[in-house]
Structure formats: structure tokens, C-alpha cells
């Protein structure tokens, strides 16, 4: 029998870093309340703040972006974030009332993996977040 110490187990955090960029307090609180028990949720109230927060380390595991925000819109936030070092693969989900075909195409072209149309149910939002994060 070996007298050595047992191998150390790898410890990894299952908590994800989620950045919500939403200027509507009610929707931001709704999303935060749904996600914060399992993940670390951060909020930006406008597009410029969202890009700044996305540039901090560690990078977000997911961006939930409202398309219509003060400053720069969610489409521009997505494009600018993906240009940041080590941020080109950060998954993006748009949460917006813009549901026209052109809006959806623009969201996808901006890097969105999913497009969540407001109003939405919390179960729908959680399902999409878990699907995009692969958890």
C-alpha cells in the first residue's frame, strides 16, 4: 500500500458570470432574481457600461443584452464586445421587444446565439440561458 497523500480533487466553480445589460429596472430585477441563486449576475444600465463591464476579468460567461438601450444599443454592444481580447466567443442572448425579421437577423449578425422576445416567461429565459451555457 502506498504511503503517499491521496491526489487532490480538482475544484471548479459551477457558478457562471452573467452580465445583464438592461435599462428597464423591472426586467433587470426579474432576470437577476431568476438567475442569481445559481450564478453571479452583474448588471449594466446602458450600452457603454455593458462594454466596459464585459472587458473586465474574468470575462462574462454570457451576455443578456437588451437591443434598445441608452448610449449604444445592444447590437453595438455585441459587436464591440466580440472585438475585445478573449471575448470573441462570449455567448450573447438578446432580450428585446424588437421582433421583426430584420431585427432578428441583425441580432444574429451581431453574434447572438438566441433571441428572446419580450414579454417572456421566466421558465423560457432560464431554459435559453441553460441551453446557451450548456448546463
In this structure, how many other beta carbons lie within 10 angstroms of the beta carbon of residue 27? 18
Exposure string over 42-59, b if 16+ CB within 10 A, otherwise e: bbbbbbbbbbebbeeeeb
Query: Are the C-beta atoms of 41 and 125 separated by less than 8 Å?
Result: no
For residue 12, name the pLDDT band (cuts at 50, 70, 90): very low
For residue range 84-114, list pLDDT tens digits in order.
999 999 999 999 999 999 999 999 999 899 9
Q: How confident is the model at residue 13 (pLDDT cuts 50, 70, 90)?
A: low
Q: What's the predicted TM-score (pTM) here? A: 0.86
**Cell 430584420 maps to which residue?**
102
Q: What are phi and psi of 75, to 5 degrees?
A: -65, -45
Task: Kindly give, in sequence order, each residue whose CB lies less than 8 Å from that of residue 15, ignoring residues fewer than 6 positions away.
Answer: 38, 39, 40
The pLDDT score that the predictor gives to residue 44 is: 97
Q: Are 73 and 104 in contact (CB under 8 A)?
A: no
Q: What is the CATH number of domain 17-133?
A: 3.40.50.2300
Amino acid at each position: 500500500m502506498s504511503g503517499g497523500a491521496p491526489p487532490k480533487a480538482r475544484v471548479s466553480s459551477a457558478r457562471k458570470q452573467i452580465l445583464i445589460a438592461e435599462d428597464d429596472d423591472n426586467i433587470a430585477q426579474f432576470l437577476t432574481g431568476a438567475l442569481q441563486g445559481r450564478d453571479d449576475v452583474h448588471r449594466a444600465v446602458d450600452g457603454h457600461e455593458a462594454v466596459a463591464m464585459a472587458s473586465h476579468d474574468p470575462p462574462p460567461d454570457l451576455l443578456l443584452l437588451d437591443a434598445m438601450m441608452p448610449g449604444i444599443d445592444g447590437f453595438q454592444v455585441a459587436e464591440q464586445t466580440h472585438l475585445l481580447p478573449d471575448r470573441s466567443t462570449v455567448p450573447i442572448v438578446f432580450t428585446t421587444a424588437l421582433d421583426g425579421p430584420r431585427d432578428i437577423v441583425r441580432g444574429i449578425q451581431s453574434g447572438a446565439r438566441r433571441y428572446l422576445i419580450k414579454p417572456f416567461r421566466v421558465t423560457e429565459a432560464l431554459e435559453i440561458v441553460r441551453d446557451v451555457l450548456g448546463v
